[in-house]
Amino acid sequence: MIEPTRLDVSGERIRAVYEFTGPPVEARSRAEALAVEQTIEFPADLVPDDDIRGQIIGRIESLEETGPRTVRVAVGYAVETTGLEFPQFLNVLFGNSSLLPDVKLVDVEIPSTLVARFGGPRFGIAGLREMFDAPERPLLATALKPMGMSPERFAEMAYELALGGIDMIKDDHSLADQPFARFEERVRACSAAVRRANEETGSKSIYMPSINAPHRLLDERVEIALGAGAGGLLILPGLTGFDHMRELAADDGVGIPIMGHPAFLGGFVSSPTGGIAHDVVFGTLMRLAGADVSIFPNFGGRFSFSREACTEISTACRRPLGEIAPMWPAAGGGMTVDRTGEMVDFYGRDIVLLIGGDLHRGESLRESAAAFRSAIG
């Protein structure tokens, strides 16, 4: 038995909801084990009746049978367990519990101290509507590809796409610093190309380079992007970390929109009974970590997300979440211009429509982009 400990704890709690799959009769003991695992990771019988037991161990707030073999359990964690830091916040939510069988993280709510600390999207839905002078319409996005093209070719593409009226022209997420198109050269060329198109047409398109870099080079790549006049950043938090994205969003010296890409994060949503729910990964976590736009694979494309999952994600992007601004869902992944109407009907007008390869099928990129722009009415 350890010595009794008294602690100064505010009482503010994070609320995490887990779905347990298995016999409902076992759910309470499994939940109690999880609440220990996520906090003290120590034999509970060796903890006296003190503040570690009363305040630090997660508190089971509710337990509800949602099916013959599923129970939803809400666990409250003292905000102090996170040290008010995002990586440790994720650790409290799903660090070791990610390794437990048949436990899925399905919802997260955070108290006001963390809302203030994490901040969320700098622009969000309202901010990008203002930036693009688009008070009502969906926003349009596309990607520069394929890998193997030169910086000059990407810049020509970016110019044509901006002339055609695409709002956000991002790097394909596969573009890093390959020899075919070095980061700095590509970013300077594409930023200049989009600026030139904007000057010619008066439009407000932005180029968003992909900041998928080794840890030690992340700051340098961001500085190059800012120096070149890039209008936004594409971030892959599954590879460079959620907290890096959050810091970029919070940094007044950056101050441009951030698009979060789902690369590598699919592993979390590949199990029906484990991992993290689609809407938590691509909605809540992306949003808490400051993405203004969150890309996810639309139903009916190359990927496997269901209509239901897409609805849940887009809802999580836009639902009330403390003072955290709503975020744009961006549905992509093998989308085509002829699905535009269907997608707007499905998602509503607060949606970013992301079409990549399909724009290359027409006579010219500019015409394809213009047709895409016309299609949103």
Please report, as residue ranges, which positions from 247 to 306 form the binding site for a copy of itself (by CB under 8 A).
Answer: 247, 262-276, 297, 302-305
Please tell me whether residue 350 binds a copy of itself under the rule CB under 8 A: no
Sole window of 49-57, 108-116, 133-141, 185-193 interacting with a copy of itself (rule: CB under 8 A)? 49-57
| DSSP assigned state of 2 | P
From 15, 22, 28, 100, residue interacting with a copy of itself (rule: CB under 8 A): 100
Nearest residue (CB) to a copy of itself, 63 versus 217: 217
Sole window of 86-94, 122-130, 346-354, 366-374 interacting with a copy of itself (rule: CB under 8 A)? 86-94
Catalytic residue among 104, 145, 170, 278: 145
Give the DSSP H or E segment for 234.
strand 233-235
From 11, 23, 67, 83, residue interacting with a copy of itself (rule: CB under 8 A): 83
Sole window of 17-25, 77-85, 122-130, 366-374 interacting with a copy of itself (rule: CB under 8 A)? 77-85
Please tell me whether residue 153 binds a copy of itself under the rule CB under 8 A: yes
Q: Give all strands of the β-sheet with 258-260 in edge-to-edge order.
A: 206-208, 168-171, 139-144, 352-354, 328-332, 293-297, 258-260, 233-235
Answer yes or no: are the C-beta atoms of 262 and 282 closer than 8 Å: yes
Is 145 catalytic? The answer is yes
From 64, 65, 85, 342, residue interacting with a copy of itself (rule: CB under 8 A): 85
Number of residues that bind a copy of itself (CB under 8 A): 97
For residue 121, the tally of other CB atoms under 10 A from its CB is 28
Catalytic residue among 104, 173, 244, 261: 261
Nearest to 6, CA basis, from 42, 38, 43, 54? 54
Answer yes or no: are the C-beta atoms of 279 and 310 closer than 8 Å: no
> Backbone phi, then psi, for 237, in 5-degree steps?
-65, -20
Is 104 catalytic? The answer is no
Please tell me whether residue 126 binds a copy of itself under the rule CB under 8 A: no
Please tell me whether residue 346 binds a copy of itself under the rule CB under 8 A: no
Please tell me whether residue 143 binds a copy of itself under the rule CB under 8 A: yes
Write the interaction track for a copy of itself spanning residues 164-203; mark x where CB under 8 A is met and - where it is not: --------xxx-xxxxx-----------------------
Pairing of strands 59-67, 293-297: unpaired
| Collapsed DSSP state (helix, strand, coil) of residue 267 | helix
CA distances from 77 to 81, 82, 222, 286, 327 (A): 7, 9, 35, 21, 26
Q: How far is it, in rounded angstroms, from Cα 51 to Cα 20?
A: 27
Please tell me whether residue 148 binds a copy of itself under the rule CB under 8 A: yes
Nearest to 39, CA basis, from 24, 53, 49, 25? 53
Please tell me whether residue 147 binds a copy of itself under the rule CB under 8 A: yes
Nearest residue (CB) to a copy of itself, 58 versus 138: 58
From 236, 327, 330, 354, residue interacting with a copy of itself (rule: CB under 8 A): 236
User: Is residue 262 reached through a cis peptide bond, with omega within 30 degrees of 0 on the bond before it?
Assistant: no
Give the DSSP H or E segment for 73.
strand 70-78
Nearest to 27, CA basis, from 87, 67, 82? 67
Nearest residue (CB) to a copy of itself, 43 versus 377: 43
From 13, 21, 27, 39, residue interacting with a copy of itself (rule: CB under 8 A): 39
Please tell me whether residue 97 binds a copy of itself under the rule CB under 8 A: yes
Please tell me whether residue 371 binds a copy of itself under the rule CB under 8 A: no
Catalytic residues: 145, 261
